[in-house]
Amino acid sequence: MRTMTTTHGPVRSELSGRGQPPHGLAVAALGLAAGGGAQEAGEPPQPARPVLPTAFVCSPAYRRHDTGPYHPEQPARLDAIEQRLRERGLTAHLLAVTPSPAALEWVSTIHSPQYIERVRRSCAAGMPCIDSADVSVCPESYAVALLAAGGVLAAIDAVATAQARNAFCAVRPPGHHALRDRAMGFCLFNNIAIAARYAQGKHKLGKVLIVDWDVHHGNGTQAAFYDDPTVMYVSVHRDPFYPGSGKAAEKGAGAGLSYTLNVPLPVGSGDAEYRQAFIESLVPAALAFTPDLILVSAGFDAHQADPLGGMRVTAAGYRTVTQMVKDLAARCCAGRLVTVLEGGYDLEGLADAVETHVRVLLEP
């Protein structure tokens, strides 16, 4: 067990949600890879070049966000992911990162203090939902949502301080629909948007690229950075579809003009269409932007088996887009890449896609 603690103070508990606990990492690694170049006969032995691990963020506490028996955004999603990674022997090669709740100072870079307090009060009062019938909550949802955001911040810490080369965050509730003052689309706090501000503020990573391949447009993430030239948002999504935003004409405003790039795809699009969208739109935009960090809203609900998405992406398609983003990170920002679970509601399809995704992240 290795631990790394930041300067935010001691962690009280995973679900404390009080004060401003650290986004320090409690990490455990098994089976870390090491490698080096070929050695000619007769040469003195060369020290092995360590290969940084891939970090994995998850927590049993994420299951405590109870959405009810019929809601598609279920705790079973994380069970399916973790079971698959164990069965395939991948867990042993990941750096396990234990999250702590996000400090409110970082959450409030994206959400208003009034909204944050309203979420807290609504959950504490036992309200069944917030702002929309699809945002089901329970008394523990506020604390779990802070822990979800904090998990992504912990991954940022790991990657920014070279404890890991990249990271996958299996967190819930998801976040990319959450607006400054409104919950929607299963989302309470915008995990990836908070992470972008944290990377900029805490680790001085000035330019952040957010790639969103969830089948739904990330309206909350787009809104958070629409006039900001330091965060480029690129979304490839089904259109027309929920939440109704994400048209190609939406390109940013003011200083942020041309730093939002939407690539809407028709229903039924599959691997070939996604690959083309990435090659023609994402890759040139990313290379021109030269980010210091790449974040991915990794929704897997464009999978062909998903009950909500209506798309035809396969596990092989997710391998392709993951590899393309990983290659961009290698070219632009020393490999710094953090991916964050958003959608994906067919349990078998989700497990297939995440397994493929994590295998690419683990590859040298």
Find the catalytic residue in 177, 216, 217, 303: 177
177 is catalytic: yes
Dihedral sign for Cα 324, 327, 332, 333, please: positive
Strands 94-98 and 231-238: unpaired
Cα–Cα distance for residue pair 340/186, rounded to 1 Å: 15
In this structure, what token pair is assigned to residue 98? 């234990």
- Reported as half-sphere exposure (CB side, CA atoms, 13 A), residue 217 has a value of 22
- 202, with CB counted inside 10 A (0-12, 13-18, 19+), is middle
Structural contact between residues 100 and 14, judged by C-beta atoms closer than 8 angstroms: yes
Sheet containing 208-212, strands listed edge to edge, beginning at the edge strand earlier in sequence: 2-4, 25-29, 94-98, 54-57, 166-169, 337-341, 293-298, 208-212, 231-238, 260-265
- 35, with CB counted inside 10 A (0-12, 13-18, 19+), is exposed
First vs last C-alpha separation in the chain = 23
CA distances (Å), origin 14, targets 21, 99, 144, 208, 350: 10, 7, 8, 28, 26
At a CB cut-off of 8 Å and minimum separation 6, what does 77 contact? Answer: 172, 341, 344, 345, 347, 350
Catalytic residue positions, numbered: 177
